[in-house]
Structure 1
Amino acid sequence: MTKSYNSEVLTSEIFNTKYLILNRPKALNSLTGPMLAVMGKKLQEWDNSKDCNNIIVKSSTKKSFCAGGDVVQTVKGQEHGTLGSILFFVREYEINHIFATTKKPVVAIIEGITMGGGVGASMHFPFRVATENTLLAMPETQIGLFPDVGASFFLSRIGSELGAYLGLTGTRLKGADVLYSGFATHLVNSKDISSLEIKLQQAKTSSYEETNAILEQFSQKTDDYKNNYPYSLSKYLDAINRCFCYNTVGEILHALEREQEEKVWAKDTLKTLNSMSPSSLAVTLELIRRGKSMSIKQCLDMEGQVASKIITTNDYIQGVTELLITKTKNPKFDPPTVDKLDLGFIKKKYFEDYDERFRLEFKNSIDYHEYPHGEYTLPSETSIVEHVSKLGQTLSNEQIVERFDKMYNGKIGIKEKVWNVLQRTRKHHQKNLLSKL
């Protein structure tokens, strides 16, 4: 039975499966304050219900899971004062914490466009199902904002410098890319989603293990893990690690200018970064670097402070107006280039001047430094390399792959990812040996 607590968020129950259905298709399910409030309220209610085995969060349309928060309204609303617009972000981050601490198995089906706030409305859940139609990105630096909704937590943990690259450039991930980058836990063919939901409705318990087993049953498989790694970024990962390992945007730009092995990619990446708000780039990089050592609560609270200041700036108003309202696509950012940035000013304004008015009021005391459900996501490149380094030199690459396969209970995609990391690591080792000859 479907109920409408808010016509833009529908809820329903089938057996012991509860549904949150985003239903604002004309706006690509862009999240409003009332929508977020309903989501938070129902998750808290179902989390304490004995009649709930699992929760499915999905869209009423395959075109878009959620295109983000409704930032257009936060700019238009500033005509009547900035407080309401600031509180939209603060309340959103408080509800992101509810997402991140719901104990029941939550499955987000992220089919179609999933951007910005849509990533926040899925990434914190233990299970995220992508399909071949998923298009995911965090493109906020283009509009003078920053990847928020907890991105300082998850982008700093998805491995090596991938998070910095995705957060700064807003690069779009499609289908399998979403799985291998760590944003999805499972990749399922779109035509199988309905059957998957039926199986979830038949779950006998609220255990994560049963939910995961059902999802694995429907996950797309590959036949040859050594030669079939459908991850479009894999050939650029080494260049990403070389160029995005720095702590200032200026150094990253210089590294891209020096890049020799992936010159075309570096040129395209430079062009992309030069079209973004320089201030947003600096703020984003600082958030990701700081977030690495912070807890989920600390990250969300930090983002609340940054948001309370950034949404009144020229760059945010220009970015949203030019790209989303008038669509003339010619924002006048200030400063206009990275070399004009005052990094000391940015750190003081956004990270040192704490405004107590916008301290987040969390609904529970749960906090952590790593996702408690990380075993259902493919390991990051960083964690793979760290684990392999502890194994010594006695195992072959095939034996290492089999060991990871056993560790992750045969999770689909694990062999492909580990094999790719091992091959690239061996390539680096050989290059280092040759350079010493």
Structure 2
Amino acid sequence: MNHENSHEKNHENNLIIHTQGALGIITLDRPSHLNALSLEMIQGIQAQFEAWADQPNVQAILINSNSPKAFSAGGDIRYLYDAYKNNTSNYRDYFVAEYKMLSTIRQYPKPVLTFLDGYVLGGGFGLAQACHILVSSEKSRFAMPETAIGFFPDVGATHFLSRLDDIGVYFAITGEQMSSSDALYLDLIDYHVPSERLAELLEAISYKPELDQLQIEQIISRFITDPASSDLRALTAVIHQHFSPATIEEIESSLAKEQDPLHQAWTEKILNVLQQRSSIAKQTSLKLQHVGRSLSLEQCMQLERNLQDIWFEHGDLMEGVRALLIDKDKQPKWQSHNPTLIKIIDDLTAA
């Protein structure tokens, strides 16, 4: 068996593609941008999955990263901003391609695994969630930080966060990060493997002449360790207490009234975070989390897609990106109220 195959580095789409044994490997290779997913990267991943679908020598696929800091810091929001400002429809093309890629990965007939070893944020979190077997090291930090830029958690988060009920609401509207220990506790990853052993794990998997999901999981099980204890576990009761109300106003009011000295520092910090976020983004994110609980994955994805296309026109994303990435003044001027958008969201979520 030819164990080592050629590496094909594509500078145009920031992917390194190669096979190792029966494993096809797609390495995200845009470290200067913490692997923010460009349209070319998304299209490249899609094309590679299609190419490997009927190649019997590729029996499983691994998506990993060439950045020591991140799996992926999310979508290419600078590209989306520029596309909209230049009056092109490229921002819509981006989401169409991204959602097609996510569906392709989720429905892929061969096992798709991912190694997470650093930041897993936004669109990177969505990409990881689409994979079938998720392995994370202690270095990973997970978040859906969209409300910080006046957007809402998308890429399937309406489904995968809403399954966590109030804890999903907490992560969706605050954008707070979780550790790999927290992610394992919440069942958002499957296995915890120390960072220093991921290369060895890759070798072990690629030495198998035949690969199926069971064999891959049996190999991984030899490498897993117990992570540090989850900080989130100790916070679950207080999160349930404050993030179960039906409106943002009630959630913020609840946080402001915390009486327990053990939790006051935390509730003050979280309330301060929430008060800096876009009101329309918080309200939408909350509504999506509540509605998503009773929808299928496909329905959640469709709802997100419908909202994405109107958000550029009516939402706070452009202002959020301007304040954080373009002018970097960190002083976003959020809309105080947008009845048009609220009505559109109500209509979409009622459908």
TM-score when normalising by structure 2: 0.92
1:237 is aligned with what amino acid?
T
Distance 2:90 2:196 in 1: 42
**Segments ≥4 residues shifted beyond 6 Å:** none
Q: Is the 8 A contact 1:17 1:201 kept in 2?
A: yes
Offset, 1:241? 1.0
Deviations 1:66-96 (A, max 9, x none): 1111011111122321522122123212221
Correspondence 1:26-37 to 2 at 5 A: 26-37=32-43
Which residue matches 1:85? Answer: 91
Which residue matches 1:200? Answer: 205
Does 1:265 pair with 2:266? yes
Flag the 1:194–1:98 CA change in 2: closer, same or farther, 3 A: same
Deviations 1:98-141 (A, max 9, x none): 12212211111111111101001111211111112112111000
Which residue matches 1:233? Answer: 232
Distance 1:43 1:162 in 2: 33
Q: Is the 8 A contact 2:13 2:40 kept in 1?
A: no
Which residue matches 1:48? Answer: 54
2:224 is aligned with what amino acid?
S
Structure 2 residue aligned with 1:350, among 339, 345, 349? 345
Flag the 1:300–1:314 CA change in 2: closer, same or farther, 3 A: closer
Does 1:210 pair with 2:211? no
Does 1:168 pair with 2:173? yes
Q: Is the 8 A contact 2:19 2:25 kept in 1?
A: yes
Q: Is the 8 A contact 1:245 1:252 kept in 2?
A: yes
Which residue matches 1:357? Answer: none
Q: Is the 8 A contact 2:162 2:289 kept in 1?
A: yes
Does 1:295 pair with 2:296? yes
Which residue matches 2:3? Answer: none
Q: For 1:18, what is the secondary structure of its paired residue?
A: strand
Distance 1:351 1:127 in 2: 35
Structure 1 residue aligned with 2:23, among 17, 22, 35? 17
Paired positions, count: 341
Q: For 1:311, what is the secondary structure of its paired residue?
A: helix
Q: For 1:260, what is the secondary structure of its paired residue?
A: coil
Deviations 1:295-345 (A, max 9, x none): 22211111111111112346211100111222211100011xxxx575xx4
Offset, 1:204? 4.2
Flag the 1:230–1:353 CA change in 2: closer, same or farther, 3 A: closer
Flag the 1:254–1:341 CA change in 2: closer, same or farther, 3 A: farther
Which residue matches 2:279? Answer: 278
Which residue matches 2:81? Answer: 75
Q: For 1:259, what is the secondary structure of its paired residue?
A: coil
Does 1:63 pair with 2:61? no
Which residue matches 1:331? Answer: 332
1:323 is aligned with what amino acid?
L
Distance 2:36 2:135 in 1: 19
Offset, 1:29? 0.8
Does 1:109 pair with 2:118? no
Distance 2:177 2:82 in 1: 27
Distance 1:91 1:142 in 2: 24
Distance 1:250 1:67 in 2: 30
Q: For 2:300, what is the secondary structure of its paired residue?
A: helix
Distance 1:193 1:291 in 2: 34
Q: For 1:332, what is the secondary structure of its paired residue?
A: coil
Q: For 2:276, what is the secondary structure of its paired residue?
A: coil
Distance 2:345 2:98 in 1: 19
Flag the 1:280–1:314 CA change in 2: closer, same or farther, 3 A: closer
Does 1:182 pair with 2:205? no
Deviations 1:184-222 (A, max 9, x none): 211111110111001111234332211111112111137
Offset, 1:353? 5.8
Offset, 1:11? 0.6
Q: For 1:271, what is the secondary structure of its paired residue?
A: helix
Distance 1:9 1:134 in 2: 21
Q: Is the 8 A contact 2:16 2:27 kept in 1?
A: yes
Q: For 1:218, what is the secondary structure of its paired residue?
A: coil
TM-score when normalising by structure 1: 0.74
Distance 2:93 2:245 in 1: 33
Q: Is the 8 A contact 1:278 1:341 kept in 2?
A: no
Flag the 1:178–1:11 CA change in 2: closer, same or farther, 3 A: same
Which residue matches 1:310? Answer: 311
1:255 is aligned with what amino acid?
S
1:293 is aligned with what amino acid?
S
1:304 is aligned with what amino acid?
R
1:116 is aligned with what amino acid?
G
Offset, 1:351? 4.9
- Taking only aligned residues, the RMSD between alpha carbons, in angstroms, comes to 1.9
Does 1:122 pair with 2:128? yes
Which residue matches 1:253? Answer: 252
2:313 is aligned with what amino acid?
T
Distance 2:51 2:310 in 1: 33
1:18 is aligned with what amino acid?
G
Structure 2 residue aligned with 1:151, among 148, 151, 157? 157
% identical equivalent positions: 27
Distance 1:58 1:136 in 2: 15
